[in-house]
Amino acid sequence: MFEALLFYTFSALAVFAGAMVITRRNAASSAIALVASFFCLASMYAMLGAHFVAVIQILVYAGAIMVLFIFVIMVLNLREDNDPGWNLSPRAVLGAGVGGLVGLTVFVGASAARSMEFLPTDKLDPNFGTIEQIGYTLFSGRYLLPFEVVSALLTVAVVGAVVLAKKEL
Q: Interface residues for other proteins in 77-136 (CB under 8 A)?
A: 78, 82-88, 92-93, 95-96, 99-100, 103, 106-107, 110-111, 116-121, 123-125, 128-129, 133-134
Least Cβ distance, residue 41 to other proteins (angstroms): 6
CB of 129 to other proteins, least distance (A): 6
Residues 51-80 that bind other proteins (CB under 8 A): 52-53, 56-57, 60-61, 64-65, 68-69, 72-73, 75-76, 78
The CB-of-169 to other proteins minimum distance in angstroms stands at 13
- What span, in angstroms and rounded, lies between the C-alpha atoms of 136 and 143? 10
144 binds other proteins (CB under 8 A): no
Helix (H, G, I), strand (E, B) or coil at 163: helix
Task: State the DSSP code for 82.
Answer: G
Question: What's the DSSP call for residue 49?
Answer: T
> Which residues are CB-contacts of 39 (< 8 A; sequence separation ≥ 6)?
58, 62
CA 17 to chain centre: 12
